[in-house]
Amino acid sequence: MTYPIEQIRADFPILNEKIRNKPLVYLDNAASCQKPQAVIDSMVKLYSHDYANVHRGVHTLSVRSTDQMESARHKIKTFINAASDKEIIFVRGATEAVNLIAQTYGRANIHAGDEIIITAMEHHSNIVPWQMLCEQTGAILKVAPMNLAGELLMDEFEQLLSTKTKFVAVVHTSNALGTLNPVEKIIKLPHAKNIPVMLDGAQAIPHTAVDVQKLDCDFYVFSGHKLYGPSGVGVLYGKQALLEAMPPYQGGGDMIRTVSFEKSTYAGLPYKFEAGTPAIAEIIGLGAAVDYLNTIGMQAIADHEASLLAYATQQAQQIDGLKIIGEAKEKGAILSFTLGRIHPHDIGTMLDSLGIAIRAGHHCAMPVMEFYQVPATARASFAMYNTKAEIDVLISGIQNLIEMFG
C-alpha cells in the first residue's frame, strides 16, 4: 500500500496555514507535533456534550467523562503493549514523569554513595531531576559518553555498571542529535545486574512502534504533545510491581482510599500517582491521537520518515559549509546542523520568512552543545505529514540564505 500522504496532510488543518504569505513548512516536530482534526474534534465533542469531572460524580456527564478517560488509558496501554491499564499513569509530560520517578522510586531506593547512570545526550529533563535527587540523597550521577557521531559508547556504558549502580535512565531517541539508541542492549546489560532502567521515549514514540514488554524496560516516559496529542498530558509507564512498591508523588484528591487527620491510605494503581483533577480533555485527546496513528500504522510512519531523513541528509550534504551534528548510524527523523559563521538564530529567522519552521537553539541539551563546541544548532525534524517537496523548500532556503549572508 502506498503511504496516504495526501489524506494525512488533509487531516491536519494547520498545514493550510500561510506564514508570511507562504505555505507553512512545519519542520519543528521534535519540539511539538501538529494535531489531526480527530484530536481537535475529540476535545470539542467532550466539552460540547460529555464534560464533567471524573471519578467523582454519579451523574451522567461524570460517567461519560470517566469512561472516555479510562478508555484513553486502555488505548495507550495497547499502543505500547503494557501488561495492564494500571501501568499507565497520566502526568503532565515526559518532564513530570522523570521527576516523579526520581522523587518516588529514587527517594525510596537510592541513597548516599549509590550511582545513577545517564548518557551524554540527554535532554535537560533527564539530567536535572537526577541532579536534584543526588543533592537530596548524596547519590552520584555518572554520564556514559558518546562518540563524535553521537553514538553511545557501549563498552564505556557497560563499564560504568557496578554494584553501586542503582538506576539507569537513557534517552530512546535524542532530540538534539537524532540518535536512536540500541535500547535492547542498554536494558539487558543493567538487568543482568538487577538494575532498573528507564527510557525517555519523548522523541521515539511518535516515530517507532514501542512494545514495553518486549523491551522489558522498567519505566518508559513520553509526552502527548509530541505524539500528535494535546499539550499538558504525558504518560509514565512502569512495571506494576515497581509502581505498587513506590510511595506516592503528590498528595490530594483522587489518590487516596481513606483520609482522616491521623492517617490516610492511598488508592491503588494508577490513581495513587494521579492526585487532583487530571487533564481530562487532553487525556481523551491523546486517546484520539493514538486511534488516528493506528489507522495509519506506526511502521508505515516510520518508513515514510526514514525516507524523508535519508533524502534530507543526502541533500544537506551537498551544501557547502553545512555540517550535520549527529551522524549516528541509527537515527530518528531529526537533522541538526550548523552553517559555519551563520548563527542558528539567523537561520531560524530567515527560514521563517519563507514559511519554514525549524528550531534554533540548544534544544534543552546544553551538554550536547558543549560536546560539539557549538553555542546552538539549527534543527529540522520530520513528522508523518512532511514531504520531500518540503525538504526541497528547506534546502533551497538554506542555499539562498548562505548567499544572502555572503
Partner 1 sequence: MFEDLRELYQEVIFDHNRNPRNFHVMENADRQVDGFNPLCGDKLTLFLKLDGDIITDASFQGNGCAISTASVSLMTDIIKGKTQAQAEELFTVFHEMTTGKEEHINLEAVGKLAVLAGVREFPARVKCATLAWHTLDAALKNQQQAVSTE
Which residues in this chain contact ligand PLP in the complex, by CB under 6 A? 93-95, 123, 125-126, 171, 175, 200, 202-203, 223, 364
Is the CB of residue 90 less than 8 Å from the CB of residue 274? yes
Write down the least CB distance from residue 106 to ligand PLP, Å: 17
Nearer to partner 1, 262 or 406 (CB): 406
Which residues in this chain contact partner 1 in the complex, by CB under 8 A? 20, 341-346, 349-350, 353-354, 360-362, 366, 369, 375-376, 397, 400-401, 404-406
Choose from partner 1, ligand PLP, none: what does 63 bind? Cβ within 5-8 Å by kind: none
Nearer to partner 1, 163 or 400 (CB): 400
Write down the least CB distance from residue 124 to ligand PLP, Å: 8
Nearer to partner 1, 287 or 344 (CB): 344
Nearer to ligand PLP, 126 or 338 (CB): 126
Write down the least CB distance from residue 21 to ligand PLP, Å: 30
| Integer angstrom CA distances of residue 127 from 249, 291, 348, 366 | 19, 32, 27, 11
Write down the least CB distance from residue 230 to partner 1, Å: 24
Write down the least CB distance from residue 125 to partner 1, Å: 16
Choose from partner 1, ligand PLP, none: what does 304 bind? Cβ within 5-8 Å by kind: none
Nearer to ligand PLP, 119 or 223 (CB): 223
* Residue 364 annotated as catalytic: yes
Choose from partner 1, ligand PLP, none: what does 383 bind? Cβ within 5-8 Å by kind: none
Choose from ligand PLP, partner 1, none: what does 159 bind? Cβ within 5-8 Å by kind: none
CA distance 256 to 238: 20
- Residues with catalytic roles: 364
